[in-house]
Amino acid sequence: MKAKSERILPATEVKNRFGRVLNEIARTGGPIIVERGGRAVAVILGMEAFERLRPKPARAKDRRALALEAFGMWADRADIDEAWAARSRAHWKSDWSNG
């Protein structure tokens, strides 16, 4: 479904008139759909529209949330701490490589 401000341009026209395309994007925010051989292959968006689509940065998690993620129901055990995790990693370290 085509949005009201959406334009469809062939790739050759975008290449030949890139400056004009950028001016239009700056003015309208886009999007401009780029077609090659009659098939949509790309979309050019203004930065504002792009920023709305980007994932929001994750908030820093507290230690409890990280522990729950890593250890699930074991997160509240007093004996699971950084030293325990380091010992466990060392114990289960593999000599196998992807090389």
- CA end-to-end span of the chain, whole Å? 47
Same domain, 71 and 44: no
CATH of the domain at 26: 3.40.1620.10
Residue 47 lies in a domain: yes
Tens-digit pLDDT profile for residues 39-97: 999 999 999 988 888 887 766 667 777 777 776 766 677 777 778 778 877 777 666 66
Judged against a pLDDT cut of 60, whether residue 17 lies above it is answered with yes
pLDDT in the model for residue 81:
76
Q: What is the pLDDT of residue 1?
A: 44
pTM given for the model: 0.52
Please report whether residue 99 resides in a domain: no
> Does residue 96 belong to any structural domain of this protein?
no
Contact 7, 21 (CB under 8 A): no
Query: Long-range contacts made by residues 50-59, C-beta under 8 angstroms, separation at least 24?
Result: none
Q: Is residue 2 part of a domain?
A: no
Q: Does 15 share its domain with 39?
A: yes
Domain that holds residue 69: 63-90
Mean pLDDT of 18-36: 93
Q: Is residue 48 part of a domain?
A: yes
